[in-house]
Amino acid sequence: MAEIVVNLVIDKLGPLLVQEIKFLRGVRQEIEDVREELKSIRFFLKDAEKRSAIEELEGNNNSDVQQWVAQVREVAYCIEDVLDEFAFTVAQLSHGRGIVGFLRKANRSLKKLKLRQNVVNDIQEIKASLAKIQDRRKRYRLDSIKKESDVETRNVTRQGGCGVGSYYTEEDQIVGYESIRKELIDLMVNKIPQRRVIVLVGTGGLGKTTLAASVYKKNDVKNHFNCRAWIHVGKTYIKEDLLRRTIQKLYSSLDENAPGHMETMDEMGLIDMLRKYLENKSYMVVFDDVWKDEFWRYVEHALPDNHKSSRLIITTRNRVVADFLPTDVEHTDVILKGLPWDKAWQLFCMKAFNSDGFCPPELEELSNKILEKCGGLPLAIVAVGGLLSKKNQIVTEWEKLFNNLGEDLGSDPHLRSCNRVLSEGFYDLPHHLKPCLLYFGLFPESYSIGCGRLIRLWIAEGFVQFQSNNSNGPEEIGQEYLTELIERNLVQVLETKVQGKPLNCRVHDLMHEIILKKTEQSGFSRILNEHNMSQCTTTRRLTISESTNNVLVRINDSKVRSLFLSNMVELPRSFMSTISTDKFKLMRVLDFEDSPIDYVPEGVGNLYHLHYLSLKNTKVKVLPKTVGKLLNLETLNLKNTLVGELPVEIKNLKKLRYLIITHLHRPYMSYGEGTNIQEGFGSLIDLRKLQGVRLNSKTFEELRKLRQLRGLGVQLVNGNGKDLFSSIANMNYLKLLAIELPNRDETFDIESMASLPKYLERLYLTGNLKKLPDWILNLQNLAKVYLTRSDFTDDPMIVLHSLPNLLKLYLVEAYNGEQLHIEQGWFPKLVELYLFDLKGLKFIMIEGGAMSLLETLVISACPLLKVIPSGVENLRNLSVLDFYDMLMEIESNSTFVTSETLEKLKHIPKVIASSHDKEGKIIVKYVNDIFSLPCQSVEALPEKKGETSFS
């Protein structure tokens, strides 16, 4: 992980800082010398870290190579400190106007001389340290490490960690994939003549190798092909070697000897040999553990489609391997997921309790906790279960293992293979993605983080490599980073937006354990709580969790760059004052989301390096004027705070990209009181998101200047939509627009607007419209529409169905009519439909062929609706029909659901009704239970206050 730090530091030594340092005569050359030394070290560092990783996976944690890597990391941290201290001091001396302003005021002053001397001294010390590192590199003979590490990597990956064991797993030990296995066998032995490629995709430890091997070894499959080969590929290989191994295995499967002269053949010759050998044969080849995206390019010409029903299987963690196959290649992608709970429990009991598979009652609760930690990964379940089978069935022994599972992963022989498989995914990452994955270590286990928030944090930390001449901004590049982590199956998507983009994500619990170990060892980050109060002196990022003063007083380190508060019940008032002292002067990120704070100190303006400040879900009422001194601030999140007005000084934050002030409360999409913003905010020309502000006639002109906005959410003090729309007409990048008219007696004046930005994807309108504006049909890219308090008298579906890309539609207190009629062919892409508070609605008619892709239909607070929607049986894709907060009406109305209507609902997996109890909890019942069976399924769910995210 030293490579991570070195690359970040080299980036800091780029044009911006060199530009400032050149004004201090004689220092620029020193800085460039340091930069060149770091580049020289980086050349060897990548291979040294590869060797270090191999040694770590093999249980060796104290080699010369590992010590050298640690020394490089420490010096890189030191360089970063010097640079950040210098920038901070310049900002203080120049009162925030940069180096040029400072030099004009303090030319030839003692302060300038002292600053220059300090920088020179620091750099001289750094250069001496770098020279020692170069000497140690030569002493440790690291110059020759590249060749050694490549050979060792091939050896390690060819062994495949637990791949050999997976290959020889007995058929009766395969649990949970029986149906997939059957489908794979059918694909292998069917008579379709075209060559077919089957790609098994899934995270490490899911059982891809085991599953493929069980198919490969089955007699029916063996006998179906003339020849076959099993090839372990791994991360590192030589193309010619891969082809030779394939030839050898194919010949061997027929008890033939491969031609000896192939050892001297080049790639083209080997391909020709393979093609000729397979010309009239039906063959099967398994390529196990493929990592490289472009793997198919290396083998496609060697394995011809000879119309002999040949089959290939590729196992991979990387989804892009499957995506890389061209459309003209017959292929089937099989995405493996974790075992469902019942199958995971079956496998766990089989391994932990040996042959009888019976879990003693006193161990059930603890076994459930251990199994939950395994997260459905067969490899983890088998490894942990096998370890437990060696222990006495005593609660205290099992508790000890559960509590120390993270530490045991790398040291216990039973768990080492699991650690290897999970760690390989991290070590294979390019250097720019490693810190992005490690960042999950700042959050609790199983924590779901919003993808937009995560990307903004990466940007604030400097992880996202962005060039000003790049057509994509840092957000788009950050999204690419996240997508690659997801495609590599290192990050799990928990929820997606309606367009399919990830909304929330997390990492597997065992991967989280591995990340925690790596971040603490390297000083990347640490979680401090009552049980873990040790802090590395170079720790860059801290999360304080569930802590009291005992932990808070230990934070006395100006090296910290990021601070998160998590699960804090109370916080000493003095803590907020502390963050504005020299202890935190180099801070880049302050994330106090959900913390018990109610004020921000004036001293926060001294945090010159601060890029990210989140006060979301706190009780802060006022922002100090000094926030206007945070000239590097990019994100200011005040969502769900009590801030009613922004200080005028906010206009100074020229780098601000996200100003998120409040949120929309579902289902009525209201900003509440809103937040006043002062004149002058038009200077924030880099803003991409402005959410939750009140606008009036004096601020429309300011809004007009914000042409980079992607998301805009506003309250109109009056209903003058004409002025608003003229202000946003040139916002060509706008994708989300939310407008609320808080005064119920006013009517939206928005008909006069001819059009809105063409890229608009989401539209929220809260207020009295009377009728839909004609221009809405011009918004052909709209995917989500949310209409609240619209007061329509005409059926809005007549207009809305013409939006060709609409995926999600909310009508909330929006329609006064008695009937909604959805005709054949309407809403061809609609996935979700929500009908709330339609007080006059009596009938819903759905014709056959309407809403053919609808998956979710939610109906709430429609008191005159006495029957289920007519034609609901036509919605063959519907998976959820939810009568939200209508349980009492349904239970008291015998005509609502009859035996005839139950028959029409039987194709829908989940038909539920709910109501609130006296404590505010939601009682949920399945409709089948209400009307056809005694009530067996009742859940008590905590009420969730809805929030619409602009992420």
- The string of DSSP codes covering 457-510 is HHHHHT-S---TT-SS-HHHHHHHHHHHHHHTTSSEEEEE-TTS-EEEEE--HH
Residue 449 host element (H or E): strand 449-450
pLDDT, tens digit, 9 for 90 and up, residues 356-403: 778 999 999 999 999 998 989 998 998 899 889 888 889 998 998 888
Handedness of CA 879, 885, 888, 889 (dihedral sign): negative
- Residue 868, both tokens: 């289920």
pLDDT, tens digit, 9 for 90 and up, residues 265-280: 999 999 999 999 999 9
What is the model's pLDDT at position 949? Answer: 38
Which of 87-101, 287-301, 873-887 has the least mean pLDDT? 87-101
Contact 621, 653 (CB under 8 A): no
Q: Residue 886 corresponds to which amino acid?
A: M
pLDDT tops 50 at residue 729: yes
Closest to 295 measured CA to CA, from 251, 331, 269, 335:
331
Kindly report each contact of residues 467-475 with a partner whose C-beta sits within 8 Å and lies 24 or more positions away, as own/partner.
473/688, 475/688
**Segments making up each domain of the chain, as ranges:** 2-151, 160-335, 341-362+372-422, 429-513, 644-816, 860-947
What is the model's pLDDT at position 99? Answer: 53
Closest to 626 measured CA to CA, from 603, 660, 653:
603
Q: Residue 545 corresponds to which amino acid?
A: S
Residue 249 sits at φ, ψ, to 5 deg, of: -70, -40
Please, where are the H alpha helices in 699-853? 700-703, 721-728, 797-800
- Residues 6+ away with beta carbon under 8 Å from 155: none
Cα–Cα distance for residue pair 170/884, rounded to 1 Å = 49
Find the distance separating the first CA and the last CA of the chain, reported in whole Å. 30
Q: Residue 239 corresponds to which amino acid?
A: K
- Residues 6+ away with beta carbon under 8 Å from 881: 857, 872, 905, 908, 910, 911, 912, 927
Q: Indicate the Cα dihedral angle 588, 5, 407, 449, nearest 10°.
A: 40
Task: From the options 3.50.50.60, 3.80.10.10, 3.40.50.880, 2.60.420.10, give the CATH code of 644-816.
Answer: 3.80.10.10
Beta strands in 129-212 (DSSP E): 196-201
Residue 715 host element (H or E): strand 711-716
What is the model's pLDDT at position 950? Answer: 36
pLDDT, tens digit, 9 for 90 and up, residues 330-340: 999 999 999 99
Angle among Cα 757, 760, 765 to the nearest 5 degrees reads: 100
- Tell me the pLDDT band of 923, cut-offs 50, 70 and 90: confident
Contact 508, 492 (CB under 8 A): yes
Q: Which pTM was predicted? A: 0.87
Q: Residue 78 corresponds to which amino acid?
A: C
- In Å, what is the CA distance from 472 to each residue of 11, 480, 485, 486, 762? 19, 10, 19, 20, 21
Closest to 671 measured CA to CA, from 765, 605, 762, 583:
765
Residue 138 host element (H or E): helix 110-139
Is the peptide bond prior to 596 cis by the omega test (within 30 degrees of 0)? no
pLDDT, tens digit, 9 for 90 and up, residues 205-254: 999 999 999 999 999 999 999 999 999 998 888 999 999 999 999 999 99
DSSP code of residue 457: H
Q: What is the percent of the chain with per-residue pLDDT over 70, rounded to a whole number?
A: 85
Assign 3-state DSSP to the chain and report helix, strand, coil percentages, each to 5: 40, 15, 40
**Under CATH, which architecture does the 429-513 domain have?**
Orthogonal Bundle (1.10)
**C-alpha gyration radius of the chain:** 31
pLDDT tops 90 at residue 25: no
pLDDT, tens digit, 9 for 90 and up, residues 522-566: 889 998 887 776 656 678 899 988 766 666 666 666 688 999 998
The pairing of beta strand 664-665 with beta strand 711-716: unpaired
DSSP code of residue 229: E
Question: 96 or 262, which is more confident?
Answer: 262
Please state, as a whole number, how many other Cβ atoms lie within 10 Å of the Cβ of residue 745.
Answer: 7
Cα–Cα distance for residue pair 417/194, rounded to 1 Å = 38
- Tell me the pLDDT band of 182, cut-offs 50, 70 and 90: very high
Contact 384, 517 (CB under 8 A): no
3-state secondary structure of 402: helix
Which of 366-370, 394-398, 498-502, 666-670 has the least mean pLDDT? 666-670
CA–chain centroid gap for 482, Å, is: 6
Cα–Cα distance for residue pair 655/466, rounded to 1 Å = 15
- In Å, what is the CA distance from 629 to each residue of 92, 146, 472, 655? 11, 48, 28, 12
What is the model's pLDDT at position 165? Answer: 58
Which CATH code for domain 160-335?
3.40.50.300
Cα–Cα distance for residue pair 431/427, rounded to 1 Å = 9
3-state secondary structure of 841: coil
Please, where are the H alpha helices in 777-926? 797-800, 887-891, 899-905
Equal fold, 429-513 vs 644-816: no
Contact 618, 598 (CB under 8 A): yes
Closest to 742 measured CA to CA, from 811, 670, 678, 692:
670
3-state secondary structure of 146: helix
- In Å, what is the CA distance from 62 to each residue of 65, 156, 436, 442, 935? 8, 19, 26, 26, 62
